Chain A
Amino acid sequence: MSKVTQDVRLLLPNRLVGPVDLSRTIRELTNLDDSLHQANLRTPGRSVSLPKTTRTLEDLAEINKISLLEKRHREVLLEALKIYQKKAPVIHMSFTVEPSAAVLAEIIVWLRKNIKENVLLDVGLQPTIIVGCVARTSNKVFDMSLRNNISKQAPMLMKYIGGQQA
């Protein structure tokens, strides 16, 4: 077991947001590893076509200073990613519409800076939210929607309505 695996401190790029992205990256890294392994077994003199890597995987390798061409680094990265897949904290956030990449990037940056650096964000849709979002961790639900806010402000609103009626 490598040092990286024992003390998993992998920095995640902003493009790698949630468990889906993580699974996709693991799959991509596995394919890359297979391709490179096959390339090593190739007959000398024949041309090799390497699979194209995504920007996510490239960013991941870059910020963690990992060379994807080295088998050992790939193995360590893959193992770390699999551990993350199992153990990384996931926050589910529901929005009224599909958030854009820019919005997601802002949110994930904030989460990794303020909550935990390896946190993953699972995005869902809930049209009734309208404004705000609903976040769910493993044990709690944080209703940060306008609906919840209005419920909290109900007495003030009722007072205002009563004042208008009077």
Chain B
Amino acid sequence: MQNWLDTILIVGSIAAATLAFIWIAVRIGPKKNSDPKKDYGDAAERDVEHIFNNEFREELRNRGRLHFEKIIGENAMFLQQDLRLTTSQINEYMKQEITKTLQEAFTKYESSISDAKQIALDSIQKTQVAVEDQRKMMGEQLDREITEEKRRILERFERNMTDIVNHYVLQAIGNQINLEDQLEYILGELERNKREIIEDIEVGA
């Protein structure tokens, strides 16, 4: 970039010097005149050639060269200043553009990250809700199963409780069953069923 600018500067300087030289040459060069007073003109030209002899011309050329160099130098300085200014402006502009571009890119990147984050959060939230629903459903199902199993066990226990207790008593007392000890209980039970027994016996008789 710097090289390119330098090249433009040099070419511009050369072009400006050439134009200035041509302009001076045209201004100080002989004028064409088809006027009747051409003779006077020619005479004057000759006088001019007398006046503007080679030395004088050389002097003028030297002055012109110096002036041209001065102008070239001034223009080069101006050009250099302009170039520096332009370079700094370009640098500033580039900085601004790059910063802007980078900011835009970062903004987009941040936005896309934010979107992705939001999507991920939404997804996680949905997953959490689904998991929570599933957990709740499973919990309820488990509760129902436990309640049902408990009810079944209790029902089975109630249904077989008599056998269970009977079996337990049988295991507990084993061969120590003594009817004499039970006599009071048996007679009590007979007494309790006495009326029904009598009625049935009388009906049967």
- Residue numbers of A with Cβ under 8 A of B are 87, 89, 91, 95-97, 99-100, 102-103, 106-107, 110-111, 114-116, 119, 128, 130-133, 135, 137-140, 142, 144, 146-147, 150-151, 154, 157-158
Contact = CB atoms under 8 A, between A and B. Distances in A.
Contacts of B169: 130-131, 146
Interface of B: 154, 158, 161-163, 165-166, 169-170, 173, 177, 179-180, 182-183, 185-187, 189-191, 193-194, 196-198, 200-201, 203-205
B182 A142 contact: no
Contact of B158 (A103, A130, A154): A154
B197 A137 contact: yes
A9 to B, nearest CB: 14
B193 A142 contact: yes
Main secondary structure of the interface of B (DSSP, over half): helix
Contacts of B196: 140, 142
Contact of A115 (B185, B186, B197, B203): B197
Given A130-B170, A131-B169, A116 B201 contact: yes
Contacts of A133: 186, 189
Given A132-B185, A137-B204, A139-B200, A100 B179 contact: yes
Given A131-B185, A137-B200, A144 B190 contact: yes
Nearest to B173: A130
Most buried by A among B173, B194, B197: B197
Contact of A139 (B163, B166, B183, B204): B204
Contacts, number: 97
Contacts of B193: 135, 142, 144
Main secondary structure of the interface of A (DSSP, over half): mixed
Nearest to A157: B161
Given A130-B173, A139-B204, A140-B196, 10 more contacts: A97-B179, A111-B190, A115-B197, A131-B185, A132-B186, A132-B189, A139-B203, A144-B193, A151-B162, A158-B158
Contacts of B173: 130
A131 B178 CA distance: 9
A106 B183 CA distance: 8
Most buried by A among B177, B179, B187: B179
Contacts of B179: 95-97, 99-100, 103
A150 B165 contact: yes
Given A96-B177, A139-B203, A140-B196, A150 B161 contact: yes
B201 A119 contact: yes
A144 B162 contact: no
